[in-house]
Amino acid sequence: MTSIVRNQWYVAAYGSEVGRELFARTICGEPILFWRTESGEVTAMSDRCVHRRFPLSQAPSRLEGDTVVCGYHGFTYGADGGCVAVPGQSRIPRTARLQSYTVVEQDSFVWIWISDPSNPVEPDATRIPRAPWLDSPDYTVVRGMEPLQARYSLLVDNLMDLSHETYLHGGYIGTPEVAATPITTEVDEDAGVIYMTRHMDDAECPPFYSESTGIEGRITRWQDVEYTPPCLYLLHSRIAPVGVLPPETGPDSDAFHVEVVYAITPETEHSTHDFWSVARDFALEDEGVTDFLRENNRTVVLQDVVALDLLETVIAGEPEGYQELSINIDAGALAARRLLAQMVKRSTSSTAPIG
Amino acid sequence: MTSIVRNQWYVAAYGSEVGRELFARTICGEPILFWRTESGEVTAMSDRCVHRRFPLSQAPSRLEGDTVVCGYHGFTYGADGGCVAVPGQSRIPRTARLQSYTVVEQDSFVWIWISDPSNPVEPDATRIPRAPWLDSPDYTVVRGMEPLQARYSLLVDNLMDLSHETYLHGGYIGTPEVAATPITTEVDEDAGVIYMTRHMDDAECPPFYSESTGIEGRITRWQDVEYTPPCLYLLHSRIAPVGVLPPETGPDSDAFHVEVVYAITPETEHSTHDFWSVARDFALEDEGVTDFLRENNRTVVLQDVVALDLLETVIAGEPEGYQELSINIDAGALAARRLLAQMVKRSTSSTAPIG
Amino acid sequence: MTSIVRNQWYVAAYGSEVGRELFARTICGEPILFWRTESGEVTAMSDRCVHRRFPLSQAPSRLEGDTVVCGYHGFTYGADGGCVAVPGQSRIPRTARLQSYTVVEQDSFVWIWISDPSNPVEPDATRIPRAPWLDSPDYTVVRGMEPLQARYSLLVDNLMDLSHETYLHGGYIGTPEVAATPITTEVDEDAGVIYMTRHMDDAECPPFYSESTGIEGRITRWQDVEYTPPCLYLLHSRIAPVGVLPPETGPDSDAFHVEVVYAITPETEHSTHDFWSVARDFALEDEGVTDFLRENNRTVVLQDVVALDLLETVIAGEPEGYQELSINIDAGALAARRLLAQMVKRSTSSTAPIG
């Protein structure tokens, strides 16, 4: 039984990863080839020649103008995936066509529509969730992508329960208050969004923020999570000296804002692309702060990678029907599991569009 | 179909392996965490947090006094496996408890009771087989543990047919007489013990014994095996100059005695912990002899490891229903297989205690 | 469902690989031990002791005169696979006998008959296909064997569609004309041989041939393929300056002839022994040409190895029922698939001998 939701938009890559070199990535179990046309548009098509299944991303396959030439027998494809040349004959078989994918570049990402072949739904680009900070002059961004040898639901669990910051990321981003402070959780069933809030009024300032903001002493620290399953996770983080609250009107300029964005894209049933970006609205030009945040955020992500890869091997070795125990802090993660299970069910059983 | 016998005592570790650091070992497919309390007692509990299955043996999990703190979300457990703290709430769920295991320290080993969940039997520590030489001032001991990538029955086969010493360990512990001398085999069905005897009256002295005892010339060499399935294998080895027999009464002080002890503990269906110890009643303080025996015995054990790991891969690749051919020297190994098969059957089908 | 054809002759080794050292190779899933008797004959028997399945090719197993002694317990076998000694007793069990294999040395190869145990057919050495150039004073030969982590049918596909030379081996053996020139294909159903012909009247001379023959300028290049499934593939290659055709009578001495021979032997369902030999009738004593052809042919074979190993992983990850698309150049490969499928079917369902 698959746990991957289809008829959905997923982040396939950062726009900057795709250029005039053949680029391959497996998304939801499908090997996909990406390249930019000479006019700069991203194209996506199956990374498997229709003839003898050679991966078109592999040398000596090559890009020639706006066509891709297979490195095995020379089958040649255009930007729409249609075959334009085959060896030894001039007639091109009518069915010689690579599956092509709908892609949209937005907010620094290449989004791709992964459909369910047994129940195809037309992609609707207006439903792609937004992360405008990643592509805005008002923010400075550090980012990366770490491959996880773990199912995507383990990353969802991880991000939906930030109490782990206190333990797994102690000394970086966690302090005792994160685990100690209860959360509130809300689910917008119609929009398919989960909201989680943890407001710490008087908390220790972790090195991650003291170093980057320059705040000395204790802080007011807000974590507002907004998860649009399956792919886009936003953590709106507000840091200010204790007692400094947003003004009734006007900009919240006495606080520091960090927009943490994760895109969670299944590579296969048991591996995941973990795209992470951190946008800040302060010290925009300060290279030292940029380097510090890039380095430290990557360290924190890699702590998660180690833990989640380990959990995947634990699951692989455990008896069937093993039961976890959940507590109050798991409300958000459990809501996410419920929505995802509904989406898997819907994507494989009806023709209704899925939010 | 499992080949692992449950409702049994197994050696989990040497006592010296378990201290104030978290220590993990998988026994019979179960990942188990070991540590000593501040008062020095060994505890054993499931190595998997009840919350999100994080291994408690993995950093940043840590021992704090007589509790273990999970490195993922901070679930905290006492020495009995009961949960004493969880993040974000003061109420501890009633079912938040790790499976705990009965352990007994004896004869230098940590013994653990591995029960059959479908047919649990109360552990009876008086039934743990003994190896008193390993913890006696009258003996000097060398020992080790080698991980086998092979099912435990291959190690049982190996130890129950010492004719392999002549071939696999030629130049170390084997001489032509070992393979050439027939054995006698006896099975005590009630006690569940197999006895095998090979008395060589006039045999070449292998380097293993000539170097350690100083005997020059040929020897009388007795091998008396006592195997208590599934875990404990004893080889009582007596070496003396040719013709020197034990006196009618009094100590056998003109002979050299070596007590070879193996504990055979399944890690999984296809891997095994091979604990080996060699106790001698001579040259007790001689470091040179100690070093020689440690080095040479380890070499011999590693020769077995290479052979058994290879046999496991041979089995993995062979057609179903492949038949071996057995001869007289296999009497002990076949008796062991028969007892083990009975024990597997009993441990999964009745409530009778198993010897 | 197996794709391996049984009741067939396969190349197991080059004769030069088998001597007075124990030599093991897995053929069609069967681990086989090869050695030469003191009188020089190649013997082949199961590489698995009848007693406890120890591989007889593994140290400390050893050859002793015309017997093999198992390195585990000393079971000893003669050249016919019969057991001649066991430990601890003088009586040899009647059934103590290794499976032995019929082998024939011919054309530099050791051919072995792999029978179907459920439908055994007597081997007929007159049906072994010939490659006399490999053992002839009129030719100089370079050769090798590369292990493929890919099913043998991928190598058959590869060799039966030489249009891939243009793309995968461009700059070595391929030129645009190979892919552009249509082929003719003929199948001799009775003899079980597929013939393919590609005659290029006016073609670029690839470095492979310009360097070795010294021809400057364009060439007449003929490729005549003769495949006798499952194992022997011959490519008769004729290179001459443009317009130079064979004389009506007498030897074709104004052309250069290269006999390329592949023996395609399944190791397992998913791996293959790729034996390649290149025999030429020119520059027989020229070491420079020999070195050039050895080096360059091996490079070309390794380009195939990389591609075919990759295709095996692509197949492993692809949905069931995936369909390829075939075109005119695939006529030979499709004919080979059809013959092989018939042979698999016949070898597992009737008692008729198979060509």
CA distance C14 to C134: 11
pLDDT digits (tens, 9 = 90+) for C136-178: 999 999 999 999 999 999 999 999 999 999 999 998 999 999 9
pLDDT bracket for residue B349 (50, 70, 90)? low
Q: Do C314 and A53 touch (CB under 8 A)?
A: yes
- C32's CB contacts (< 8 A; 6+ apart) are C12, C24, C25, C26, C44, C45, C46, C47, C101, C112
Residue C350 confidence (pLDDT):
47
- The mean pLDDT value of chain A amounts to 95
| pLDDT value of residue C1 | 74
Confidence tier at C320 by pLDDT (50, 70, 90):
confident
CA–CA gap between residue A348 and residue A121 (Å, rounded): 11
Q: What is the pLDDT of residue A164?
A: 95
Q: Do B157 and C52 touch (CB under 8 A)?
A: yes
Closest residue in chain C to residue A70, using alpha carbons only? C167
DSSP three-state, residue A167: helix
Q: Largest Cα–Cα distance of chain B, in whole Å?
A: 77
Residues on chain A touching B71 (C-beta within 8 angstroms): 167-168, 307
Give the distance from residue B231's alpha carbon to the nearest chain C alpha carbon, in angstroms. 22
Long-range interactions of C342-350: CB distance < 8 A, separation 24+: C343/C5, C343/C8, C343/C192, C343/C229, C343/C230, C344/C2, C344/C3, C344/C4, C344/C5, C347/C5, C347/C6, C347/C7, C347/C8, C347/C116, C347/C119, C348/C2, C348/C6, C348/C116, C348/C118, C348/C119, C349/C119, C350/C119
Are B88 and A314 within 8 A, CB to CB?
no
Q: Give how far C336 is from chain B: nearest CA, Å.
A: 29
Rounded CA-CA distance C121/A305 in Å is 57
User: Which is it for strands B23-27 and A256-268: parallel, antiparallel or unpaired?
Assistant: unpaired
Which of B52, B118, B268, B271 is the best residue to mutate to test the A interface, defined by the most A CB atoms within 10 Å of its own CB?
B52
Mutation choice for B interface testing from C27, C30, C50, C53 by most B CBs within 10 A: C53
Residue of chain A minimizing CA distance to B269: A317
Whether A350 shows a pLDDT value over 50: the answer reads no
Q: What per-residue confidence (pLDDT) applies to A15? A: 98
Instruction: With CB atoms and an 8 Å threshold, state whether C72 touches B170.
Output: no
Residue B195 main-chain phi, psi, to 5 deg: -115, 135
Q: Which residues does chain A have within 8 Å of residue B88's beta carbon, measured at their own beta carbons?
A: 163, 179-183, 327-329
DSSP tag of A134? G
User: Using 50, 70 and 90 to split pLDDT, how confident is the model at A236?
Assistant: very high
Chain C residue with minimum CA distance to B164: C73
Q: Position B43: which residue type?
A: T
H/E element, A234: strand A232-241
pLDDT, average across residues B58-78: 98
Which alpha helices (DSSP H) does chain C contain, by range? 152-160, 164-168, 176-180, 207-213, 287-316, 331-347
Task: Count CB pairs under 8 A between chains A and C.
Answer: 75
> What confidence score (pLDDT) does residue C29 get?
96
pLDDT-derived band at B348, boundaries 50, 70, 90:
low
Burial pattern B268-307, b for ≥16 Cβ within 10 A else e, equals bebbbbbbbbbbbbbbeeeeebbebbeebbbebbebbbeb
Q: How far is B85 from chain A (nearest CA, A)?
A: 11
Residues C300 and C297: their CA atoms lie apart, in Å, by: 5
Tell me how far apart the alpha carbons of residues C340 and C230 are, in angstroms, rounded to a whole number.
7
- List Cβ<8 Å contacts ≥24 apart for C173-180: C173/C206, C173/C208, C173/C296, C173/C300, C174/C206, C175/C203, C175/C204, C175/C205, C175/C206, C176/C204, C177/C203, C177/C204, C177/C221, C178/C203, C178/C223, C179/A73, C179/A74, C179/A87, C179/A88, C179/C329, C180/A87, C180/A88
Q: What is the pLDDT of residue C348?
A: 66
Between A171 and B203, where is the model more confident? Answer: B203
Instruction: Name, in order, each residue with C-beta under 8 angstroms of B319's C-beta and a sequence gap of 6 or more.
Output: none
Single-letter amino acid code for the residue at B132: P
Mean pLDDT along residues A80-95? 96
> Which chain B residues are Cβ-neighbours of C52 within 8 angstroms?
157, 311, 324
- The answer to whether the Cβ–Cβ distance between A179 and B74 falls below 8 Å is yes
ipTM field: 0.93
> What are the beta bridge partners of residue C8?
C114
Structure tokens at B327: 């001869």
Query: Token pair for residue A165?
Result: 């910051």
How do residues A16-41 score in pLDDT, each as one tens digit?
999 999 999 999 999 999 999 999 99
CB nearest to C170's CB, from A51, A53, A60: A60
Gap between the Cα atoms of C276 and C284, Å rounded: 19
- Percent with pLDDT over 90 in chain B: 93
> What type of residue is A344?
V
Chain C residue numbers with beta carbons less than 8 Å from the beta carbon of A89 are 182, 327-329
What residues of B are in contact with residue A315 (Cβ under 8 Å)? Answer: 53
Mutation for testing the A interface, residue in C151, C156, C168, C312 having most A CBs under 10 Å: C168
What is the phi-psi region of residue A321: left when phi exceeds 0, alpha when psi lies from -120 to 50, beta otherwise? left
**pLDDT exceeding 90 applies to what percent of chain C?**
93
Return the SS3 of B295.
Answer: helix
Neighbour count for residue A144 (Cβ, 10 Å): 15
C209 burial (CB, 10 Å; 0-12 / 13-18 / 19+) is buried
Contacts of A314 (CB under 8 A, 6+ apart): B31, B48, B53, B54, B55
Residues of C with CB under 8 A from a CB of B: 29, 31, 48, 50-55, 58, 60, 69-74, 86-89, 93, 95-96
- Contacting residues for B205 by C-beta, under 8 A, at least 6 apart: B175, B215, B217, B218, B219, B221, B239
Average confidence (pLDDT) over A321-337: 95
* A220 neighbors A244 (Cβ within 8 angstroms): yes
Strand ordering across the sheet containing B109-114: B8-14, B109-114, B103-106
Mean predicted lDDT score pLDDT of chain B: 95
Both tokens assigned to C30:
């069967």
Q: Determine the residue of chain B that is closest to C69 in CA distance.
A: B167
Residue C300, token pair as written in the block: 């070309």
Q: Do B167 and C88 touch (CB under 8 A)?
A: no
Residue pLDDT, tens place only, B208-259: 899 999 999 999 999 999 999 999 999 999 999 999 999 999 999 999 999 9
Task: Please give the mean pLDDT across all residues of chain C.
Answer: 95
Q: What is the DSSP letter of B32?
A: E
Q: Say whether pTM exceeds 0.90.
A: yes
pLDDT per residue over A176-233, tens digit each? Answer: 999 999 899 999 999 999 999 999 999 999 998 999 999 999 999 999 999 999 999 9
Report the candidate in B216, B223, B9, B39 with the shortest Cα–Cα distance to residue B125.
Answer: B9
Digit-coded pLDDT (tens) for C85-126? 999 999 999 999 999 999 999 999 999 999 999 899 999 999
Q: Choose the mutation target among A2, A32, A72, A84 for the interface with C, i.e. most C CBs under 10 Å.
A: A72
Mark yes or no for CB contact C52/B310 under 8 Å: no
Q: Do A310 and B60 count as a contact with CB atoms less than 8 A apart?
A: no
Q: For residue range C257-309, what is the model confidence (pLDDT) as tens digits?
A: 999 999 999 999 999 999 999 999 999 999 999 999 999 999 999 999 999 99
CA B232: distance to chain centroid?
6
- Scan for tokens 């951190």, then name that residue: A278
The tally of CA atoms less than 13 A away on the side-chain side of residue A134 is 26
CA A63/CA A17 separation, integer angstroms = 16
Listed in sequence order, the residues at least 6 apart from B287 whose beta carbon sits closer than 8 Å to its beta carbon are none
Q: Give chain A's length.
A: 355
**Which residues of chain B have a CB within 8 Å of the CB of C48?**
314, 318
Contact between chains at A311 and B86 (C-beta distance less than 8 A):
no
* Res A347: pLDDT: 75
Interface test with A, best of B72, B76, B94, B118 (most A CBs within 10 A): B72
Chains B, C: CB pairs < 8 Å: 75
pLDDT tier at A353 (50, 70, 90 boundaries)?
very low
Report the C-alpha gap between A215 and A81 in whole angstroms: 54
Asked if B72 and A329 come within 8 Å (Cβ–Cβ), the reply is no
- SS3 assignment, position C78: strand
* CA-based end-to-end distance of chain C: 21
Beta bridge partners of B280: B140, B258
How many whole angstroms separate alpha carbon C153 and alpha carbon C336? 9
Inter-helix orientation angle A287-316/A152-160, to 10° = 120
C-alpha atoms less than 13 angstroms from C-alpha of C256 in its C-beta half-sphere:
25
- Please answer yes or no on whether C88 and B179 come within 8 Å at the CB atom: yes
Side-chain half-sphere exposure of C269, counting CA atoms within 13 A: 7
How many angstroms from the chain centroid is the CA of residue B288? 26
Q: What pLDDT, in 10s, does the model give residues B288-341?
A: 999 999 999 999 999 999 999 999 999 999 988 999 999 999 999 999 999 999
For residue range A52-67, list pLDDT tens digits in order: 999 999 999 999 999 9
Tell me: pLDDT of B1 over 90.
no
CB proximity list for B163: less than 8 A, separation 6 or greater: B178, B179, B329, C73, C74, C87, C88
For residue C28 the two structure tokens come to 């069609």
- A contacts of C322 (beta carbons < 8 Å): 53
The rounded distance, in Å, linking the Cα atoms of C283 and C286 is: 5
The DSSP element (H or E) to which A140 belongs, if any, is: strand A140-148
CA distance B176 to C156: 52
Cα nearest neighbour of B183 on chain C: C88
Percent of chain C with pLDDT over 70: 98
